Amino acid sequence: MKNIVIIDYHLGNLFSVIQAFRHLGIEPIVSSSREDIQNAHGLVLPGVGSFDQAMKNIKELGIDKIIVEKVRNGCPLFGICLGLQLLFEVSEEGEQCDGLGILSGKVIKLDNLKSNNSRIPHMNWAKIKTKELTKSNNSPININQQDKYFYFVHSYYVEPEDQNIILTQTKYGNGLFTSSVLIDNVFACQFHPEKSSEEGLEIFNNWLNINKLI
């Protein structure tokens, strides 16, 4: 059995993510231990809460550098919601602060896309649209999930420097925001697959299979 480590940086409820893996017959390790992260075959970076507090906790736990090192050495990483945003270089949320810097780009306010009919936070089911269909063979999101609904709760979104890493986009207000990214061993999404019923579970299952974690 491969070690799937859900990184616990003491922010947000991890229960739904744990249950998603258990539903697929996987018992994940929930840990903030450097040793557990070092020994992981796959990492999951979930998150609900503020970017600045999350990074403060990660640094105080002393796990920021080991996360970056593991990912740069090829360990598969699955980021969810705030976990997607933390992968980038900097965020406007709270006191502007640096992220993990695994991906180039920034996290900006969803207000930039807001229309008269849209609300902040974006808390709703919304469709994802695959931007790069050619990536679908090695992507946890497959072509069949295009235009399917997934659950979102967020007030910020990522703006990658490299547009080629954008896997899906989602309409909000007057524009589109990046709802998932894929590059090499890093997959991360703004929506919550663990709260998105069977479609979300399929993404977990695809991620596990693509990365040979089961």
Active site residues: 81, 192, 194
Burial class (CB in 10 A: 0-12, 13-18, 19+), 25: exposed
135: left (phi over 0), alpha (psi -120 to 50) or beta: alpha
Q: Are 193 and 23 in contact (CB under 8 A)?
A: no
Q: Whose CA is closest to 101, among 88, 82, 83? A: 88
Residues 6+ apart with CB under 8 A from 66: 34, 37, 38
| Sheet of strand 4-7, all strands in order from the earlier edge strand to the far edge | 29-31, 4-7, 42-45, 77-80, 186-189, 175-183, 166-172, 129-130
Helix 51-60 vs helix 64-72: angle between axes, to the nearest 10 degrees?
90
